[in-house]
Amino acid sequence: MASLVSVGRPAGHVEGPSKVTGQARYTADIRLPGLLYGKCLRSPFPHARIVSIDTAQAKALAGVHAVITGAELPDRRIGRFFLDKPVLARDVVRFAGEKVVAVAAESMDIAEEALTRIAVEYEALPAVFDPVEAMQGNAPRVHTDTSAYTHPPVPDFVHPGDDRLYPDIPNVVSQVFYTHGDVEAGFSQATREFTHTFTIPPVHQGYIEPHASVVQIEPDGKVNLWISNKTPFVARSQFAAALDVTEDRVCVNTAPIGGDFGGKGSLMDSVVCYHLAAAAGRPVKMVMTYTEELSAGNPRHPAVITLRTGVDASGRIVARKAKLVFSCGAYSAFTPLHTVHGSVHAAGPYRMPNVEIEVFRVYTNTVPAGHMRAPGAPQIVFGVESHMDLIAQELGLDPLEFRLRNTLVEGDAAPLGEKWKKIRCKETLEAAAREAEWDTEKAAHIGRGIGMYDREPGAFGPSSATLSIAADATLTLMTGAADTGTGSYTVLQQVVAEELQIPLESVRVVQGSTDSAQWEVGAGGSRLTHMAGQATLAAVQKLKAGLTAFAARHMESPPEQVAYRAGEFVNTNGQRLALPRLMAALADREELPLRYTGEYVAEDPVEVTSFCAQIAEVAVDPATGQVTLKKLTTAHDVGTILNPLTHQGQVEGGAIQGVGHALTEHLIVQDGAVTNVHLGDYKLPTSMDIPELKTVLGESNAGPAPYAGKAIGEHSNVAVPAAVANAVFDAVGVRLMDLPVTAEKVYAALREKNSATRND
Partner 1 sequence: MKSIRLRVNGQAVERDIPDNALLIDLLRNGLDLTGTKEGCSVGVCGACTVLLDGQPVSSCLTLAVTADGCAVTTIEGLSEGDRLHPLQKAFIDYGGFQCGICTPGQIMSAKALLDENPHPSKDEIQNWMMGNLCRCTGYYKIIESIQAVADGRVTP
Residue placing its CB nearer to partner 1 in the complex, 206 or 310 = 206
Residue from 4, 5, 24, 708 binding partner 1 (CB under 8 A): 24
Selected from 1, 5, 19, 397, the binder of partner 1 by CB under 8 A is 19
* Closest among 181, 61, 149 to 109, alpha carbons compared: 61
365 touches 127 (CB < 8 A): yes
Q: Is 652 in the site for partner 1 (CB under 8 A)?
A: yes
Among residues 3, 21, 52, 144, the one that binds partner 1 under rule CB under 8 A: 21
- Report 606-635 residues binding partner 1 (CB under 8 A): none
From residue 78 to residue 117, what is the string marking binding to partner 1 with x (rule CB under 8 A)?
-------------------------------x--------
**CB nearer partner 1, residue 294 or residue 446:** 294
Burial class (CB in 10 A: 0-12, 13-18, 19+), 487: buried
The only residue of 1, 16, 179, 398 in contact with partner 1, by rule CB under 8 A: 16
Nearer to partner 1, 19 or 581 (CB): 19
Residue type, 305: I
Please list, residue by residue across 58-93, b when 16 or more beta carbons sit within 10 angstroms of its beta carbon and e when fewer do. Answer: beebeebbbbbbbeebeeebbbbbbbbbbbbbeebb
Cis before 462 (ω within 30): yes
d(CA 520, CA 230) in angstroms, rounded, equals 11
Residue with smaller CB distance to partner 1, 110 or 277: 110
- Compare residues 189 and 474 and give the one whose CB is closer to partner 1: 474
List 449's β-bridge partners, or say none. Answer: 616
Q: Is 504 in the site for partner 1 (CB under 8 A)?
A: no
688 is a contact residue toward partner 1 (CB under 8 A): yes
Q: Give the CB-side neighbour count of residue 258, counting CA atoms within 13 A.
A: 19
Residue 73 CA to residue 299 CA, distance in Å, equals 27
Q: Which 276-295 residues touch partner 1, going by CB under 8 A?
A: 287, 289-291
Q: Is 664 in the site for partner 1 (CB under 8 A)?
A: no
657 binds partner 1 (CB under 8 A): yes
Task: Check residue 210 for interaction with partner 1 (CB under 8 A).
Answer: yes
E strand spans, 470-539 = 475-479, 507-511
Applying CB under 8 A, which of residues 654, 703, 706, 709 lies at the interface with partner 1?
654
Residue 158 identity: V
Under the criterion CB under 8 A, does residue 258 sit at the interface with partner 1?
yes
Q: According to the binding rule CB under 8 A, does residue 531 interact with partner 1?
A: no
Among 125, 154, 413, 645, binds partner 1 (CB under 8 A): 645
Candidates 231, 309, 486, 571; binder of partner 1 (CB under 8 A) is 486
Preceding omega of 368 cis (within 30 degrees of 0):
no
**703 counts as binding partner 1 under rule CB under 8 A:** no
Q: Which residues pair with 460 in a beta bridge?
A: none
When asked if residue 32 is in the footprint of partner 1 (CB under 8 A), the reply is no
User: Rounded to the nearest whole angstrom, what is the least distance from the CB of residue 13 to partner 1 in the complex?
Assistant: 6
The nearer residue to partner 1, 682 or 747, going by C-beta atoms, is: 682
Q: CA-to-CA distance for 608 and 232, rounded, in angstroms?
A: 29
Of 261 and 326, the one with the shorter C-beta distance to partner 1 is 261
26/187 with CB nearer partner 1: 26
Let me know: does 667 contact 409? Beta carbons within 8 Å.
no
* Closest distance to partner 1 from the beta carbon of 258 (Å): 3
Give the whole-angstrom CA distance, residue 188 versus residue 759: 38
The answer for 494, left when phi > 0, alpha when psi is -120 to 50, beta otherwise, is alpha
Write b or e for each residue in 11-27: b if 16 or more Cβ atoms lie within 10 A of its Cβ, otherwise e: bebbbeeeeeeeeeebb
| Residue 678 in the binding site for partner 1 (CB under 8 A) | yes
**Least distance in angstroms from the C-beta of 758 to partner 1:** 40
Could you tell me the smallest distance in angstroms from the CB atom of residue 316 to partner 1?
36
Cα dihedral sign, 242-245-248-253: negative
- By the rule CB under 8 A, 256 interacts with partner 1: yes
656 binds partner 1 per the rule CB under 8 A: yes
- Cβ–Cβ < 8 Å for 523, 482: yes
Q: Examine residue 28 and tell whether it contacts partner 1 (CB under 8 A).
A: yes
The reply to whether 137 sits near partner 1 by the rule CB under 8 A is no
- CA–CA separation, 256 vs 485, rounded Å? 8
Binding site for partner 1 (CB under 8 A): 10, 12-13, 15-17, 19-26, 28-29, 31, 109, 205-210, 256-261, 287, 289-291, 484-487, 645-646, 648-649, 652-657, 678-680, 684-688, 690, 693
